[in-house]
Amino acid sequence: MRSTWRLISYVVAAFATLSACDGTDTFVGNSNDANYLAARNALETGQYSIAIKKYQRLLASLDGRPAARVQLEYIHALLRANQFEAAGASAAQLTNSREPSIRAGAIAVRGTARHEQARAKMAAGQVDAGVRTLLTSARDDLTDFLRNYKKWDEAGAMQSRLKLLEQDMSRI
């Protein structure tokens, strides 16, 4: 029995590794489901550049409601890859979604991206009206998220980010 589980774990690990490869999808095929799994696996394993490429390819083949969820995951990959400007701009497209989970996620990502953009500029010694605008916009996003979607912040990450953001604002 133990060897069966070991074999299964090796097969799962091999599939996860191969599906995240940025080749021509020879292993996973070209189906949207397989491409989604490869993109998601790359995101979850910290291979953000691969995840971004896979999500871009997948988004090009989707339309309608399923695309919003994939777009949100793509935006998350951009955020994790420290592409804050691109993440914020892409998130803005989803902030008017009628689906609460999509809108909430987009607002949280946009606020986080704006905050991280401002922090990067502050770390580089830039403290000006542009940085203040980013911080103010980030605060507005996070406040909106917490006012309307607090139930999705069970761990308190957005509340903690808002406190950090307020500290950053007090320094400029």
Among the listed residues 145, 119, 147, the one whose alpha carbon sits nearest the alpha carbon of residue 132: 119
Res 92 pLDDT > 50: yes
3-state secondary structure of 96: coil
For 101-126, how does the pLDDT look when each residue is reduced to its tens digit (9 = 90+)?
999 999 999 999 999 999 999 999 99
Which residues have a Cβ under 8 Å from the Cβ of 77 and sit 6 or more positions away?
39, 42, 43, 48, 51, 52, 55
Q: What is the dihedral of CA 78, 83, 88, 93, to 10 degrees?
A: -50
Res 22 pLDDT > 90: no
